[in-house]
Amino acid sequence: MKRPARKPYLSKSKLISAWQCPKRLHLEKHHPELGEVSAKTESLFATGHQVGEISKQLYGTPDSVEIAFNRKTSLMVRDTAELIDGGADFPIFEATFQHDGILGRVVFERSSDKISG
């Protein structure tokens, strides 16, 4: 049986690549082995990791979990949904959600505030 074609997916960084140069987007998507990571990009990655560590220090608890990166985003979305559906009452770092082709990875924490009408 033939699998249905995958819906095209563009991340924020891929959109920026397309705006800068359409050929760059093509190469990043179809020939990533040709890419080079600049010192500036490495610095941005490092900053992102530092922000992640700070958020864990500020909002983490002994029960906190982090959704591990996986190229199959559906697995990250599934793992997040299982934790939330299971009643997770602790922070979930890199909780992964997808809606209408938009992917988001966030710190998720269930609110204990009740809204009364």
pLDDT per residue over 33-53, tens digit each? 887 888 988 898 899 889 989
pLDDT of residue 9: 65
Nearest to 108 by CA among 98, 86, 97, 93: 93
pLDDT of residue 96: 94
**Phi and psi dihedrals of 66, rounded to 5?**
-125, 130
What percentage of the chain has pLDDT greater than the value 90?
A: 38
Q: N- to C-terminal Cα distance for the chain? A: 52
Please give the structure tokens belonging to residue 112.
């204990």
pLDDT per residue over 91-100, tens digit each? 999 999 998 8
Asked if residue 102 lies in contact with residue 9, where contact means CB atoms within 8 angstroms, the answer is: no
61 pLDDT exceeds 70? yes
31 pLDDT exceeds 70? yes
pLDDT of residue 21: 83
Q: Which residues of 32-70 are buried (b: 16+ CB within 10 A; e: fewer)?
A: eeeeeeeeeeeeeeeeeeeeeeeeeeeebeeeebebeee
CB atoms within 10 A of CB 73: 14
pLDDT of residue 95: 93
Q: Share the mean pLDDT of the chain.
A: 84
